[in-house]
Amino acid sequence: MPRRDFTIWLILSGFYFKELTRSLLLPNLIVISHFFFGTSTFEAVEIGLLITMQLGASAVACLLFGILADRKSRKMIAIISLIIWLIGIILIIFTLHYLQLLIGELLVGFGFGGYTPVAQAIIGDATPSERKGRIYGWSSILMLLGFFSGLMLASVFSPNWQLPFLIAGLPLCILIVLYSIQGTQYKLGMHDDKLKAILTSDNDLTYDYCLTRDAFKKILQNKTNLLIFIEGIFSILGISIITTYFFPYLEESAAHVTPLVISLITLLIITPVNIAGIIFWGWIGDRFEKKYSRIRVLLIALSFTITTPLFIFAFWIQGTPASETSTLWAALTNPGVMLFVLIFAIGYFIAVIYDPNQPPIINAINLPETRGSVFALNRFVELIGGALGPLVVGIFFESMGQNFSIAMTLGILFMIPGIFCWWMALKTYPIDHNTIESILEKRARLINEQKMKLTEK
């Protein structure tokens, strides 16, 4: 395997470990609550705070590391973030008190939060436009596999909730070592349509533009960027609520589904549907972008418009009463549980349109030297939304007499402003995309002139 391709797969594997680490708490939220606060109640606010701190720290790191990645070596910044992430895992493995767990989750969030925008920018540097949707799609598939691997791992070892963090930490160590030794530092702009013919033909030519104060200001003047930032808060807030409370909802429903059975359901039903959706919608975006430049924006707008009411409906479906649903067969033959899972799978098949198509949109409307910062700002606002989600729905849950359905409905309604932003982006995207294309075309001419002067000498 060429070294460049090996590096891409190392970077992609980081997305797998990110979601694996993030999901290790979810099957054991009730177990952890009982571990620290006693078995009498589920402390929704304190447990929600663990996820809020993780995602809040991730948001801060996203912003900081993404901007640094436009000024320093992206490889170096990625390695630093991986090391912080590993330190957080070590703290969790040896947790004795709630505060220590909170700090460990904060460091884990800070680590993978810093890694995410840098890795997204590296993928943008490393892949041509006609493959971006599929490569970003693979990052989403690996995140999905990591997420459900974490759920499965944590469920199998439940109630021993710390052991899965030890198992997850070992391959993360290997990733850090391999990427440090074998990782390629990619040339900025080498796969942009207007630049690649020049930059790939001569190794001495480089894209010497870097992030400046004026360039950063223009990021915020880009209307499509602003719409994406605004929608990120609301859309991901809703998605975070849906993801976080999938397990507790089924566990506490009338069917009383066990964590292991829920993990098996996600692995055998929801995960394959999600992977198929990511591959399919990523291919659709790559296939039709040249013919209809706004196809990715349109797909995402339709996705959220359909799935918002669909997920609200899903969380009003109750499992058919049972003392305990402790086998997969019992769950699959429980009409209420099966209907919930079916609606949820359909919703996720449509919702994953976002995963392979949103990053290429950001690449298309921003200059190469600003993409780390844009991905950072985007992830920052998304993580703010994601961090608020569990806390907000925890407050709703406590305020509404511990009624999951009402709390989830109120939480998911926060996605509505994001829907409006994507429909507005249909008008702004072509303008911002053409502006970037014009700038890159001018820069390509300047670099070509530089090449001609070097040839003459």
Per residue in 377-435, pLDDT (tens digit) is 887 888 778 778 877 888 888 888 888 889 999 999 999 999 999 999 999 999 999 99
Question: In this predicted structure, what is the pLDDT of residue 206?
Answer: 64
Mean pLDDT, residues 118-142 taken together: 83
Write b or e for each residue in 67-77: b if 16 or more Cβ atoms lie within 10 A of its Cβ, otherwise e: bbbbeeebbeb
CA 109, distance to chain mean position in Å, is 12
Mean pLDDT, residues 162-191 taken together: 85
Mean pLDDT, residues 263-279 taken together: 88
Question: In this predicted structure, what is the pLDDT of residue 7?
Answer: 84
**283 phi and psi angles, rounded to 5 deg:** -65, -40
pLDDT: is 240 or 85 the higher one? Answer: 85
Short-list 449, 447, 440, CA closest to 129 = 440
Confidence at 306, pLDDT banded by 50, 70, 90? very high
Mean pLDDT, residues 188-203 taken together: 59
| pLDDT of 299 above 60 | yes
Confidence at 271, pLDDT banded by 50, 70, 90? confident
Q: How far apart are CA 298 and CA 401, in angstroms?
A: 39
Q: How far apart are CA 408 and CA 392, in angstroms?
A: 10
- If you average pLDDT over each of 238-242, 319-323, 349-353, which comes out highest? 349-353
Question: In this predicted structure, what is the pLDDT of residue 286?
Answer: 87
Mean pLDDT, residues 16-29 taken together: 88
Q: How many CB atoms lie within 10 A of CB 37?
A: 14
- Amino acid, single-letter form, for residue 442: K
Give the DSSP per-residue string, 261-294: HHHHHIIIIIHHHHHHHHHHHHHHHHHHTTT-TT
- DSSP, collapsed to helix, strand or coil, labels residue 185 as coil
- Taken in order of first residue, the domains within the chain and their CATH numbers are 3-456 (1.20.1250.20)
Confidence at 316, pLDDT banded by 50, 70, 90? very high
Question: In this predicted structure, what is the pLDDT of residue 262?
Answer: 86
Mean pLDDT, residues 24-37 taken together: 83
Question: In this predicted structure, what is the pLDDT of residue 456?
Answer: 62
Q: Is the peptide bond before 159 cis (omega within 30 degrees of 0)?
A: yes
Q: Which range among 118-127, 185-194, 229-238 shows the weakest confidence by mean pLDDT?
A: 185-194
Please say whether the beta carbons of 412 and 241 come within 8 A: yes
| pLDDT of 440 above 80 | yes
207-224 pLDDT, tens digit per residue, is 666 777 888 888 888 999
Nearby residues of 304 by Cβ (< 8 Å), 6 or more positions away: 235, 351, 354, 415, 418, 419, 422
pLDDT: is 290 or 453 the higher one? Answer: 290
**318 phi and psi angles, rounded to 5 deg:** -100, 140
Question: In this predicted structure, what is the pLDDT of residue 194?
Answer: 59
Confidence at 1, pLDDT banded by 50, 70, 90? low
Mean pLDDT for the chain overall: 85
Nearby residues of 431 by Cβ (< 8 Å), 6 or more positions away: 223
Q: How far apart are CA 1 and CA 449, in angstroms?
A: 35
